[in-house]
Structure 1
């Protein structure tokens, strides 16, 4: 079970636009914790620490332990508002996590063994249909990535979610179809040869001197 990352948080008494601005002037980001049987809780967090976590690229698929002056709340980020001009976070939403909770998260797809793909070796192109897959998985076992093996794939191959090994306890949220993860696209050998022949003929024609 992955250990939750601890983040210091503070109770935020004043709400609204004015309260949020006051929090930001103090070097903090306003936020809210919602979900479960408890009432929503207005909080603030250190801007530097939140920005550091966002830069990992896994912020919204990471479970955090929010330390509220000794009271700890287990939660996962569910939304980040960003300043449209200066591109820094200005508000964060967290979802409380009950014991044995499951969550929906977007997990990146990582492709392995490209060098072992005969189709790619022959000039094929990896056409990625899904760079991320939304999974429903235990909050204590959120995968960093989904690994897809390209070894043995040929031009024209199409691989679907049913052929991909998912982490234990994880299932795709799309259940009504066997959706495509990637295909190997490329030109046929005859087309490539025809292009090469045409180029050679054009070069030979340019090299010949016109007859008088």
Structure 2
């Protein structure tokens, strides 16, 4: 289970409709609605600066939150929509959906690499290049993994590890169908430089025929 589900603090909004929403915005709040589950829709307000900061942090719509509203039980929610001002592109309203434990959702799960000490490629001086430090998975809301483990203990220099090489938690699957790369063990930069020098030296050793020599050769053939 995910260890840290971030809290999202909100206030219950009294009144509904455009008038109440405009009043909330004048007070520096963003109106919203919480729907779904077995409860009635709950109108809420979230401080504008708090919401804007979370939006700028990225992946707001794919993050599971623990919604805290005074007078109500905490509930897990995920954002389903953020409406923005067409001119200023600032948030004006948001929709949050309550989640049951059996609800399937898309979340970015951190990648944890194990087996680095045993990895033959790293022991030879190779460098672990991480292509994805998190992977978007379809998971069950009641069984969210804290991370997925990627074993690199058998990788050699030049090897890659893809999502098909990873044992995912039961019930979880990637949102991308193709077998994408998560990481690889690259050759050390010094070795790359030596290979480049060797290639350059090999090219320099290839004999070239000058114009005078070529003409002499053609003359001899005649």
TM-score by shorter chain over 0.5? yes
TM range (shorter): 0.5 to 0.7
Deviation at 1:81, TM superposition (A): 5.9
State TM-score, norm by structure 1: 0.62
Corresponding pairs, count = 197
Shift of 1:26: 1.6
What secondary structure, in the 3-state scheme, does the structure 2 residue paired with 1:72 have? coil
Q: Give the alignment's TM-score, normalised by structure 2.
A: 0.60
- Do the aligned partners of 1:75 and 1:94 also contact (CA within 8 Å) in 2? no
Report the CA distance between 1:84 and its aligned residue: 9.9
RMSD: 4.4
Partner of 1:161: 163
Uncovered stretches (5+) of structure 1, i.e. residues with no partner: 202-212
How many Å apart are 1:107 and its aligned residue?
A: 1.7
SS at match of 2:15: coil
The Cα offsets for residues 63-119 of structure 1, whole Å up to 9 and x where unpaired, read as 41442x523362322255678999976543311113543322122324456565443
Cα distance between partner residues in 2 of 1:77 and 1:154: 40
Gaps of 5+ in 2: 203-222
1:38-85 per-position Cα deviation (integer Å, ceiling 9, x unaligned): 665432123465567668878643341442x52336232225567899
Contact 2:64 2:77 in 1 (8 A): yes
Whether the aligned pair in 2 keeps the contact of 1:135 and 1:170 (CA below 8 Å) is no
**Bigger radius of gyration:** 2
The 3-state SS of whatever aligns with 2:24 is helix
Aligned to 1:70: 71
Q: Closer, same or farther in 2 for the Cα pair 1:55/1:188, shift >3 Å?
A: closer
Deviations 1:128-169 (A, max 9, x none): 1x44322222323323432323334222212222322334x4
| Mapped contact 1:161–1:181 kept (Cα < 8 A) | yes
